[in-house]
Amino acid sequence: MPIYRHTAVRHEPVAPTRAQRLAPGTGIDAHRHEDHQIAYAARGVLAITTDAGSWVAPGNRAIWVPAGTVHAHQAHGTLELHLVGLPAAENPLGLDRPTVLAVGPLLRELIVAYTHAPEDDSPERARLRAVLLDQLRASPQQPLHLPTPSAPLLRSVCALLHADPADHRTLAELGRTVGAGERTLSRLFRTDLGMTFPQWRTQLRLHHALVLLAEGEPVTAVAHRCGWASASAFIDVFRRTFGHTPGHRADRSDR
């Protein structure tokens, strides 16, 4: 469903550079700006949604939002949000769609410092910005996009799994529920979403897991609610994806 179907899209000519706190469950409604923006959550988990899908980032990830992209922010847990605006003509990553980026300790501190520093034309701020851009260029991109399907049959299948990420039914079994064959659905996952059904379901479960962890759910409960057979299996997938265990508080440990 388009994020702006029932909400007027606010237009912001300039993407703000600022730090702000958002309470759990709150967000920033659908909007767009003429500048690029880097969105980083030093605490909590940030979700950004567009027509093309959603991106969820814990404390060691940031989300690049290209100029002109209609998007909404959502806070999971108490969110310490840092926003860095960059002119549309300045795209250090050459990216034209939202992308999750790894944030190491140095880039983290640069983003936090830049969003708290006075907005002026001082040489100090210019140097800080230059180093921040250098670190951005070196940041690995992360495949953490959960795409939104456009095909009606696929939307029906994905809605079932969004409602219950722990649903263990096979694609064939889900297909019988929505009136579609396994081959048809398998083809649609590849052509419409650019990934296989198991890949999409794992992404969905990881996104739900990040939200539940931000809300304070125990690791074992999260593993069960998101469909992993055991906590150890969940921890293994989580570590390989995010570089740390789900019990590790990335929003605090590097301070």
For residue 245, pLDDT over 70 is answered with: yes
For residue 250, pLDDT over 50 is answered with: no
Amino acid at 68: G
Q: Average the pLDDT over each of 3-17, 81-95, 239-253 and give the range with the smallest value.
A: 3-17
3-state helix/strand/coil string of 102-155: ECCHHHHHHHHHHHHCCCCCCHHHHHHHHHHHHHHHCCCEECCEEECCCCHHHH
Dihedral angle computed from the Cα positions of residues 87, 92, 98 and 102, in that order, rounded to the nearest 10 degrees: -130
Q: Please state the separation of Cα 164 from the chain's center in Å.
A: 20
- What is the largest distance, in Å, between two alpha-carbon atoms of the chain? 64
Q: Across residues 234-254, what is the average pLDDT?
A: 75
For residue 7, pLDDT over 60 is answered with: no
| Rounded Cα gap, residues 71 and 28, in angstroms | 9
pLDDT computed for residue 8 by the predictor: 62
Burial bucket for residue 64 (CB in 10 Å: 0-12, 13-18, 19+): buried
Mean pLDDT, the chain, integer: 88
Q: Across residues 137-159, what is the average pLDDT?
A: 90
pLDDT computed for residue 57 by the predictor: 86
For residue 38, pLDDT over 90 is answered with: yes
Each residue of 124-145: pLDDT tens digit? 999 999 999 999 889 888 877 8
pLDDT computed for residue 248 by the predictor: 64
Helix and strand totals (H; E) in the chain: 8, 10
Please tell me which of 1-10, 111-120, 144-153, 190-199 the model is most confident about, judged by mean pLDDT: 190-199
pLDDT computed for residue 98 by the predictor: 92
For residue 13, pLDDT over 70 is answered with: no
CB atoms within 10 A of CB 239: 13
Which segments of 127-226 are extended strands (E)? 141-142, 145-147
Q: Across residues 73-89, what is the average pLDDT?
A: 91
The dihedral through the CA atoms of 210, 212, 215, 221 has a sign that is negative
Domains within the chain, CATH numbers bracketed: 10-145 (2.60.120.810), 148-242 (1.10.10.60)
